[in-house]
């Protein structure tokens, strides 16, 4: 798989020109008119001309300062860290093969009337692509955080323990709750607990909501919670997978020392890697599987922090699409469905013919940066480069 380097950001704002010439011309006209007029007036005009020259000089200086400032800003903008997207160690294939994938299989729903979820935030070094290390903030030791599976109507009890060195928090999109209370910052070494009733079915993002949220999400603080309707409400699915899309913005290649976040890249939305479940191309070497004729359900969240995901499975259509995770009805036989950053969608495919079916964001820049996986239907060999 080739990951071409993305282009460097080029911005150069127009610089204002000093307008001292016009001011001097106006003064000259005034001086012309003053010829032959009383001396005190001439003296006054002379003083005015001097003032005007001083004003013009000051204006020119101000413009020069402004221009220098713009050039500085332009230099800062063009000094964005180069892309590291194309980098891969010589043994990338072997590393990709040895990589332990993030478990995409939807875990069993948590039992009992109260789903008890304890997230212990840790600062950890993780792998985000073959041989690429990143200093992440992780809800439970990895990014994404764990998939949480509950049933509609269940009470969800969330405890966040902050094992990091700065404040963090956790915001559940599935909750209807006062965010200033539930999603408030937790100091290092402290915990917070809150409960909410999972009234709304679907697949929802959870994430750290501590400022700057861009950095906290980009550093790995996101995950998915599936709120499944009561058994038998949705059509039967033979297999269920959870996919969380996200981007990584790297300050360094990450090959030797771990990379950390590059905020300029995050603001410019020029990621180095875009991933399914936190690791570039992991389901290419380790495809998700299905048997011919089975119904496969994808629960998809776009964590961003900034990119939408245009969900598409190459070689088939989405037989059912619960757009935006609205579980009250589904669309049939659609090709690509957008999942907004901070949103979710649920998609069924039923594939009769054995083969390798890539699942992607059809925004193909994201594919080149790693957001591609394979659904292997039946016993087929090989891989493909989509």
Q: How many residues bind Cu ion (CB under 5 A)?
A: 5
Judged by CB under 5 A, the stretch of 41-49, 211-219, 238-246, 321-329 that binds Cu ion is: 211-219
Among 27, 45, 170, 221, binds Cu ion (CB under 5 A): 221
By CB under 5 A, residue 216 contacts Cu ion: yes
Judged by CB under 5 A, the stretch of 154-162, 221-229, 263-271, 326-334 that binds Cu ion is: 221-229
Strands 171-172 and 202-207: antiparallel
Candidates 229, 215, 132; CA nearest to 168 is 215
CB of 79 to Cu ion, least distance (A): 27
By CB under 5 A, residue 168 contacts Cu ion: yes
Give whichever of 210 and 316 is closer to Cu ion, judged by the CB atom: 210
Judged by CB under 5 A, the stretch of 105-113, 214-222, 295-303, 362-370 that binds Cu ion is: 214-222
Among 158, 208, 218, 284, binds Cu ion (CB under 5 A): 208
Give whichever of 149 and 168 is closer to Cu ion, judged by the CB atom: 168
What distance, in Å, lies between the first and last C-alpha atoms of the chain? Answer: 8
Give whichever of 21 and 212 is closer to Cu ion, judged by the CB atom: 212
By CB under 5 A, residue 210 contacts Cu ion: yes
By CB under 5 A, residue 151 contacts Cu ion: no
Give whichever of 84 and 204 is closer to Cu ion, judged by the CB atom: 204
Residues 276-305, one symbol each (x = binds Cu ion by CB under 5 A, - = not), give ------------------------------
Give whichever of 339 and 351 is closer to Cu ion, judged by the CB atom: 339
Judged by CB under 5 A, the stretch of 204-212, 259-267, 328-336, 372-380 that binds Cu ion is: 204-212
Judged by CB under 5 A, the stretch of 8-16, 22-30, 203-211, 261-269 that binds Cu ion is: 203-211
CB of 208 to Cu ion, least distance (A): 3
Question: Which residue in the shown chain puts its C-beta closest to Cu ion?
Answer: 208
* Residue ranges in contact with Cu ion by CB under 5 A: 168, 208, 210, 216, 221
């Amino acid at each position: 798989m080739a990951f071409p380097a993305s282009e460097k950001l080029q911005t150069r704002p127009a610089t204002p020109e000093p307008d001292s010439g016009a001011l001097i011309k106006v003064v000259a006209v005034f001086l012309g008119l003053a010829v032959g007029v009383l001396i005190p007036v001439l003296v006054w005009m002379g003083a005015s001309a001097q003032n005007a020259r001083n004003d013009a000089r000051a204006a020119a200086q101000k413009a020069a300062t402004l221009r220098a400032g713009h050039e500085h800003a332009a230099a800062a903008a063009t000094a964005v860290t180069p892309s590291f997207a194309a980098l891969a160690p010589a043994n990338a294939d072997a590393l990709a093969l040895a990589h332990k994938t993030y478990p995409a299989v939807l875990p069993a729903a948590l039992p009992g009337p109260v789903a008890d979820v304890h997230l212990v935030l840790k600062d950890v070094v993780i792998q985000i692509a073959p041989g690429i290390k990143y200093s992440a903030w992780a809800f439970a030791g990895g990014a994404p955080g764990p998939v949480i599976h509950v049933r509609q109507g269940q009470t969800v009890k969330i405890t966040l323990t902050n094992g990091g060195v700065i404040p963090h928090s956790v915001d559940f999109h599935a909750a209807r709750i006062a965010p200033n209370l539930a999603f408030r910052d937790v100091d290092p070494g402290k915990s917070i607990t809150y409960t909410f009733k999972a009234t709304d079915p679907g697949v929802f993002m959870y994430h750290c909501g501590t400022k700057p949220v861009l950095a906290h999400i980009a550093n790995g603080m996101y995950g998915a919670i599936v709120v499944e309707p009561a058994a038998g409400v949705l059509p039967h699915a033979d297999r269920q997978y959870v996919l969380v899309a996200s981007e990584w913005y790297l300050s360094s290649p990450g090959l030797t020392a771990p990379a950390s976040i590059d905020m300029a890249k995050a603001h410019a939305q020029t990621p180095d890697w875009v991933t399914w479940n936190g690791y570039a191309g992991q389901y290419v070497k380790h495809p998700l599987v299905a048997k011919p004729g089975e119904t496969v359900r994808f629960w998809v969240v776009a964590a961003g922090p900034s990119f939408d995901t245009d969900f598409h499975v190459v070689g088939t259509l989405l037989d059912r699409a619960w757009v935006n995770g609205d579980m009250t009805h589904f669309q049939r036989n659609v090709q690509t469905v957008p999942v907004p950053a901070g949103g979710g969608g649920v998609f069924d495919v039923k594939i009769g013919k054995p083969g390798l079916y890539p699942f992607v964001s059809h925004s193909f820049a994201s594919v080149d940066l790693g957001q591609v996986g394979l659904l292997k239907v039946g016993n087929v060999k090989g891989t493909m480069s989509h």
